Amino acid sequence: MKSELLTDKELEDLSTELADWDVSSNGLERSYDFGNFVQAFSFMAGAALHCERLNHHPEWSNVYGKVHVRLVTHDQNGVTNLDVTLARLMEELSGA
Amino acid sequence: MKSELLTDKELEDLSTELADWDVSSNGLERSYDFGNFVQAFSFMAGAALHCERLNHHPEWSNVYGKVHVRLVTHDQNGVTNLDVTLARLMEELSGA
Amino acid sequence: MKSELLTDKELEDLSTELADWDVSSNGLERSYDFGNFVQAFSFMAGAALHCERLNHHPEWSNVYGKVHVRLVTHDQNGVTNLDVTLARLMEELSGA
Amino acid sequence: MKSELLTDKELEDLSTELADWDVSSNGLERSYDFGNFVQAFSFMAGAALHCERLNHHPEWSNVYGKVHVRLVTHDQNGVTNLDVTLARLMEELSGA
């Protein structure tokens, strides 16, 4: 998948669709709280498969039931359609 | 957790609660179909954590979106409360 | 990656390279014994990522430290380069 | 496993054994670089199982092949034998 930087208009629209994410040209970020480690890591394992298939990997951290995700396309220095695709897949996996 | 073999009455009651499982004194078995590999493996990763915590591990197999699970307590040669605990946790994880 | 059936000559050569695998036109199969569940599932989690990236998934089963893998390309009804690629990646991951 | 805070002497000894870790009473920390996401996440999946079994979970983050781990026993506000156990298991899993 070729990645293209989002326009300001697209970022604005996205902030409605991905309401639980911080959406800016510097990256997409969200914190999940799954309540326990099993749910959190189960989510990470599924998300990891999407990431590897898309060859697009997050900066993410985990403490117990919490997972913080930051998505950005480094070689374009901003948010691209790849980041949006991953964010949507993570939303789906999280059951959000 | 100490494991104890289930009585025939308990197995019968269980077949109501765990309606999607084959319940017999030889083991508890269920096939899940998650529709894709990501959901299937995400489930397995979460279930694996429960198994390791309980020190009780399934015989299970996977093809794409399908996961087949067989639970039995080998050292008691039958179904115990440990198998029931795992089956319930798997149901919860699977979103069933 | 386009998949192509292996010739008899290629299968024969492969049985030398993948000495721990059963190599036949019906599939590539290997049993791993990692000694404990943690090592076994760690291997599976890594292998799962390769599978998802290649969009090529195994038939595999696990009991405690043991993992049995069967690789075949169903839509070609035999062993292709995709199966060989996965088998090699699994060997690398397993530390074999 | 009951957790007990390490003495200064034990922390000092540990800094020899766990040479790649930053060892202090505030926590044990190490950065791993596995070179790719598959190896990194395979490690995390194995480590996650140890964590869940011990009911002791890290603060950890991942970017591609890199994993940063911080271990501390919050309810004792310092480093205990539980942290040391996990650090050793992670070393073993990482192949370090």
At which residue do the structure tokens 């970017």 appear? D63
Residue A50 at interface with chain B, using a CB cutoff of 8 Å: yes
Which of A27, A36, A6, A33 is CA-nearest to residue A70?
Answer: A27
C96/D contact by beta carbon, under 8 A: no
Please give, rounded to a whole number of angstroms, the shortest distance from the CA of B95 to a CA of chain D: 21
Mean of pLDDT values over C67-72: 98
Q: Which one is predicted more confidently, B69 or A2?
A: B69
Instruction: Enumerate the residues of chain D whose CB falls inside 8 A of the CB of residue A58.
Output: 63
Burial class (CB in 10 A: 0-12, 13-18, 19+), B7: exposed
ipTM (interface pTM): 0.95
Q: Does the global pTM surpass 0.90?
A: yes
Domains of chain B by start residue, with CATH? 27-94 (3.30.1360.20)
Q: What is the percent of chain D where pLDDT is above 70?
A: 98
Cα–Cα dist C3/A41, whole Å: 33
Chain D partners of C85 at a C-beta cutoff of 8 Å?
none
- Sequential pLDDT tens for chain B (96 residues): 678 999 999 999 999 999 999 999 899 999 999 999 999 999 999 999 999 999 999 999 999 999 999 999 999 999 999 999 999 999 999 986
List b or e across B52-76, with b for residues whose CB sees 16 or more CB atoms inside 10 angstroms. Answer: bbbebbbbbbbbbbebbbbbbbeee
Q: What is the pLDDT of residue D85?
A: 98
pLDDT band at C3 (very low <50, low <70, confident <90, very high): confident
The predicted-structure confidence for D30-75, as pLDDT tens digits, reads as follows: 999 999 999 999 999 999 999 999 999 999 999 999 999 999 999 9
Q: Are residues B49 and D49 in contact, defined by beta-carbon separation less than 8 angstroms?
A: yes
CA D81 to chain centre: 11
Q: What pLDDT, in 10s, does the model give residues A32-83? A: 999 999 999 999 999 999 999 999 999 999 999 999 999 999 999 999 999 9
Residue A95 has pLDDT above 90, yes or no: no
Kindly give the residue spans of alpha helices, DSSP state H, lying in C1-96: 8-17, 37-54, 81-94
Using a CB-CB distance cutoff of 8 angstroms, which residues of chain D are in contact with residue A86?
none
Nearest CA in chain D to B48: D49
- Degrees (nearest 5) of the Cα angle D58, D62, D67? 70
Closest to B47 measured CA to CA, from B57, B37, B38:
B57
**Nearest residue of A to residue B50 by CA position?**
A38
Q: Is C39 on the interface with D (CB under 8 A)?
A: yes
Residue D42, CA distances (Å) to A73, B92, C8, D9, D34 in order? 23, 25, 34, 34, 10
Strands D59-63 and B66-71: unpaired
State residue D96's pLDDT score: 67
> How far C8 CA lies from chain D's nearest CA (Å)?
32
pLDDT at C46 over 70: yes
What are the chain B neighbours of A45 within 8 Å (beta carbons)? Answer: 41-42, 44-46
